[in-house]
C-alpha cells in the first residue's frame, strides 16, 4: 500500500526533427501521486546517443528532491531517437524503482531491426533486453525494475488521475512538447 501523495518523477523528451538536432531536452515532472506538480528537472541528451541513463542518474541523484522521490517513470525506453535508457542500471544507480509506461503495444522485433544501423547494436539490444517483460495493464503496457508487478500496477492506478496514463508522464509530455513550441499529442 502506497501513500496517495507518493512522489514520482516522470520523464519524457521534447519534440525534435529527426536528423536535424544534436541534443534533445528531457523533462522530469515530479508529481505527488497524481495530484500536484512539485518540481521539474531537465537535462539534454544526445540524439541517437547512449547517454540518457547516466544523465538521468546524475540529475536525479544530485536533486534536492531525491530524498522524497519513491519512483521513476519513463515514457518508453527510447528518447531522442534511439537513445535507450537501461532501466536496470537506472534502478541500481538511483536506488529507486523504475516503471516504463508504454502507450501502445510495442513491436519489439521491428524496433530491434531498426537499430541494426548502429555499430553498437549488441549493446543497444542488451539495453532493450534489460527492460524485461512487457505487462498489459488497463489501456497501457509497462515494464519495471526494482519493484513487483503488483506494486507497479498499484502506483500506475494511484497516479492515473486525469487520463489513462500516469500524471507524471502526462505532465512531463505536456511540458516537454511545450518547450518545443506547443504541447501536442496524447497527453
Give per-residue pLDDT as tens, 70-109.
Answer: 999 999 999 999 999 999 999 999 999 999 999 998 888 9
Residue 184: φ, ψ to 5°: -155, 175
* pLDDT, averaged across the chain: 93
Among 91, 49, 93, which residue's Cα sits nearest to residue 74?
Answer: 91
User: What average pLDDT does range 145-150 have in this prediction?
Assistant: 98
Question: By the 8 A CB rule, do 81 and 23 touch?
Answer: no
Per-residue pLDDT at 146 exceeds 80? yes
Residue 178: burial class (beta carbons within 10 Å; 0-12, 13-18, 19+): middle
Confidence at residue 26, expressed as pLDDT on a 0 to 100 scale: 97
Confidence at residue 100, expressed as pLDDT on a 0 to 100 scale: 98
User: Which pLDDT tens digit goes with each residue over 28-73?
Assistant: 999 998 899 999 999 999 999 999 999 999 999 999 999 999 999 9
Three-state secondary-structure class, residue 39? strand
Three-state secondary-structure class, residue 124? helix
Mention every residue, 6+ apart, whose C-beta is less than 8 A from residue 49: 80, 83
Percent of the chain with pLDDT over 70: 96
Distance of CA 187 to the CA centre of its chain: 14
Place of cell 515532472: 29
Confidence at residue 1, expressed as pLDDT on a 0 to 100 scale: 72
CATH numbers and ranges of domains, the chain? 7-179 (3.30.2170.10)
User: What average pLDDT does range 137-160 have in this prediction?
Assistant: 97
Q: What DSSP state is assigned to residue 115?
A: G
Confidence at residue 55, expressed as pLDDT on a 0 to 100 scale: 98
Cell numbers representing residue 150 in the block: 503488483
Question: By the 8 A CB rule, do 78 and 84 touch?
Answer: yes
Question: By the 8 A CB rule, do 157 and 1 touch?
Answer: no
Confidence at residue 183, expressed as pLDDT on a 0 to 100 scale: 64
CA gap 187, 174 in Å, rounded:
6
More confident call, 75 vs 1: 75
Residue 70: burial class (beta carbons within 10 Å; 0-12, 13-18, 19+): middle
Confidence at residue 15, expressed as pLDDT on a 0 to 100 scale: 86
Most confident of 16-25, 157-166, 177-186: 157-166
Mention every residue, 6+ apart, whose C-beta is less than 8 A from residue 94: 57, 60, 61, 66, 72
Confidence at residue 39, expressed as pLDDT on a 0 to 100 scale: 97
Confidence at residue 17, expressed as pLDDT on a 0 to 100 scale: 77
Amino acid at each position: 500500500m502506497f501513500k496517495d501523495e507518493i512522489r514520482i518523477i516522470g520523464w519524457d523528451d521534447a519534440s525534435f526533427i529527426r536528423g536535424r538536432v544534436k541534443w534533445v531536452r528531457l523533462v522530469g515532472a515530479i508529481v505527488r501521486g497524481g495530484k500536484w506538480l512539485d518540481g521539474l528537472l531537465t537535462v539534454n541528451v544526445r540524439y541517437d546517443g547512449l547517454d540518457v541513463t547516466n544523465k538521468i542518474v546524475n540529475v536525479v541523484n544530485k536533486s534536492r528532491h531525491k530524498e522524497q522521490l519513491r519512483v521513476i517513470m519513463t515514457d518508453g525506453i527510447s528518447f531522442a531517437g534511439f537513445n535507450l535508457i537501461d532501466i536496470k542500471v537506472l534502478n541500481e544507480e538511483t536506488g529507486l524503482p523504475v516503471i516504463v509506461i508504454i502507450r501502445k503495444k510495442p513491436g519489439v522485433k521491428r524496433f530491434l531491426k531498426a537499430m541494426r544501423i548502429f555499430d553498437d547494436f549488441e549493446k543497444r539490444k542488451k539495453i532493450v533486453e534489460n527492460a524485461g517483460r512487457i505487462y498489459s495493464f488497463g489501456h497501457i503496457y509497462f515494464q519495471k525494475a526494482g519493484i513487483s508487478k503488483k506494486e507497479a500496477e498499484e502506483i500506475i492506478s494511484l497516479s492515473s488521475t486525469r487520463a489513462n496514463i500516469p500524471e507524471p508522464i502526462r505532465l512531463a509530455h505536456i511540458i516537454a512538447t511545450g518547450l518545443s513550441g506547443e504541447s501536442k499529442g496524447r497527453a
